[in-house]
Amino acid sequence: MLESKSRIVLIVLSVVVLIVALCTAFVFVTMHKDTNLFNKGFVATSKTGQIVINPQFDGADAFSEGLAAVRIGDDKTGKWGFIDGTEKFVINPQFDFAFSFAEGLARVRVGDDKTGKWGYIDKAGKYVINPQFDAVEPFFGEFAAIRVGDDKTGKWGYIDKAGKYVINPQFDEAHAFAANGLARVRVGQKWGYIAR
């Protein structure tokens, strides 16, 4: 009787160890998808794990609104473009950095990470808002937070989808408006909330 309980405990412990190992491997793979772990950093798989987009990109963002931002080339000189679910480039690689679409617009940077400027493009790859900002956030609820100036002394404000200021840059840090219509902002070392 005692021996069968020991076997059951040993089996349960073995299963727990296996589950922990699988979870750890999943977290590692998820966190390191852009580190050439998969022969150039990006693999799309089906629910069964079957590869549906072959490993061929040097960097990639998540699919959003039917497109994904992908990079061809290294971090410094590579260019970002957008593919659809069939691997076809819908917007050719031409940006120095890009994020996937949100509310019909994607954030793209022209120039390096220190002096480059950010703007927004539509799904045809046309600029809706020309690159002019030093940092940008995605649109959420018709507005996006943008920064003018460097990360130490620059100020954050908000624009609409036409690129017009709806709240002039004046905050040391700013985040997206939440569903309740409030956005958190920082002035100096203190945080508060603003309304749309």
Which H/E stretch holds residue 2? helix 2-31
- Length of the chain, in residues: 196
Q: Is the pTM of this model over 0.85?
A: no
DSSP state letter for 172: S
CB 108 within 8 A of CB 98: yes
> Per-residue confidence at 5, pLDDT binned at 50, 70, 90?
low
Which residue ranges make up each domain of the chain?
1-31, 44-133, 136-196
CB 127 within 8 A of CB 94: no
- Inter-CA distances, 101 with 71, 131, 134, 137, 186, Å: 15, 16, 19, 11, 26
CB 131 within 8 A of CB 137: no
What b/e string do you get for 177-196 counting C-beta neighbours within 10 Å, with b at 16 or more? beeeeebebeeeeeeeeeee
Q: How large a percentage of the chain has pLDDT more than 70?
A: 77
pLDDT per residue as tens digits for the range 40-90:
445 555 678 888 899 999 999 999 999 999 999 999 999 999 999 999 999
- Residue 161: is its pLDDT beyond 70? yes
